[in-house]
Amino acid sequence: MAKKNLILDTSVFLSDANCLFKFQNNDIFLPLKVLEEIDKHKKRQDSVGHNARQTIRNLDALRAQGSLLKGVRLAKGLGLIRVVKASEIAFNELPRDLSHKLPDHLILATALTIKKQYSRRKTIVVSRDINMRVIADAVGLISEDYVTTRVVEDRNKIYDGFAKLLVDEELINQFYLGEEVNIDKDICDEQKIKLHPHQFIMLVSSSNEKKTALARFKDHKEPIKHLIDLNSELLWGVFPRNKEQSFAYDLLFDDTVPLISLIGKAGSGKTLMAIAAGLEQTLGKKDAKYRRIVISRPVQPVGKDIGFLPGTLENKMLPWLKPIQDNIQFIMGNDRTMLESYVERGQIEIEALTYIRGRSISNSFVIIDEAQNLTAHEVKTIITRVGENTKIVLTGDIEQIDNVYTNETNNGLTYAVEKFKESELAGHITFRKGERSKLATAAAKLL
């Protein structure tokens, strides 16, 4: 494969601190302006700040091996990295339409300079910024997105936790009679279906498609299980309205599955079901499974940020957790006094994700809402905080991502779903139907 020259945009480093080591034997040219842009983000207390600091550490380690200005070998089998100063850039290569003062335009000018100097090599601008790639193309540069962190090709291939399986009607009859029923791997192979641990299946009669049965699969050696029936035991009165919600409850009330992920459009009930299950198992009975509910979500605004907020941590987090509070009050019958008393006693805890690093959360039911706005690194940080007797639930809608450094195929929620789908410690279900209201369901489909 012919060696290439790559010019990396700031956005690449802020999405993956170790990106330098993922471009094989290609040379990387780093505009000095990019280092200045990275420095502006190093004090942030989120994944972007972490990536900025780690990038600086990586470059410092390379600096110890030689001069970044002259070029340093990244590692054995990898290319060189060289920092390019403004004095080396041929600004006359940049069209007059583009200002020399803007960082993005300086990066493009660097790429045009490198392209002219190394005319026999392909020069590529690598950026997560869509508009940057468009402008690069407009000035005659090849541009590519940085996609090595993508865990699935497109959103339609994300594991949804559900499958339909054609079987003999006799097998369905045996299942309803309470007999043990195993799913033969040959049946799945014939239908080109691969089942994962804790995946939900609909058994459909091959002779009568209207005869079906819902079950949970674990592996081909164990019999499939009936869904849990909690209708008579639910203190808070939140009952499933569709099969996906029933699947979610089956996982949420199972002690053997400590990690649950729920994906669904706005109004599908994913957050409500998670909170209701948490309340039932924490506050609903005398022999509660967990001591407290820990609830949090990424501090990621929709639209313009509201700036710094006064008061305690709880006061600062309140605007971000208002949707969570709405769900809790709905379950508790809008009794705000009851909610406040649980918070005061520490049975419901509001946690800022910024300060979760270093904690060990035990005997808790943890809910991370809007997890689609997390990065893969942030999800790893959160899940590794889980201690003994703790269940963690990730909920989110991959169609509503506000984090500019993630997308539908590489966000933290998708990352967790895909990486854990083979594990017996995790279960997932994608909600298909809206239940908030007819208007909310129509809006999710039409807008």
Band of pLDDT at residue 301, cut at 50, 70 and 90: very low
* Averaged pLDDT for residues 294-301: 73
Q: What are phi and psi for residue 153, nearest 5 degrees?
A: -65, -50
152-226 with 232-446: one CATH topology?
Answer: no
Residue 357: pLDDT band (50, 70, 90) is: low
Quote the tokens at residue 325. Answer: 């509070």
Lowest pLDDT segment from 9-23, 112-126, 188-202, 278-292: 278-292
pLDDT in tens, 56-91: 999 999 999 999 999 999 999 999 999 999 889 988
The residue written with tokens 């026999």 in the block is 120
pLDDT at position 318: 62
pLDDT digits (tens, 9 = 90+) for 318-349: 666 677 777 887 887 766 677 778 878 888 88
- Domain 232-446 matching CATH 3.30.460.20: the answer reads no
Q: Is the pLDDT of residue 303 over 80?
A: no
Please say whether the beta carbons of 146 and 127 come within 8 A: yes
Domain 152-226 has CATH 2.30.130: yes
* Listed range (29-33, 80-84, 275-279, 318-322) with the worst mean pLDDT: 318-322
What are the structural domain ranges in the chain? 4-144, 152-226, 232-446
Residue with the larger pLDDT of the pair 339 and 300: 339
Phi, psi (rounded to 5 degrees) for 223: -70, 150
Percent with pLDDT over 90 in the chain: 58
What's the CATH architecture for 4-144? 3-Layer(aba) Sandwich (3.40)
**Residue 66, Ramachandran bin (φ over 0: left; ψ between -120 and 50: alpha; else beta):** left
| Residue 379: CB atoms within 10 Å | 22
pTM: 0.80
What does the alpha-carbon distance between residue 26 and residue 5 come to, in Å, rounded to a whole number? 6
* Span 101-105, average pLDDT: 89
Residue 302, pLDDT > 60, answer no
Q: How many residues does the chain have?
A: 447
The pLDDT assigned to 72 comes to 94
- From residue 439, alpha-carbon distances to 124, 327, 420, 436 in Å are 46, 18, 34, 8
Closest-CA residue to 298 (of 390, 405, 384, 153): 405
CA distance 266 to 393: 17
- List, as one string, the DSSP characters of 380-439: HHHHTTB-TT-EEEEEE-TT----TT--TTTSHHHHHHHHHTT-TTEEEEEE-S--S-HH
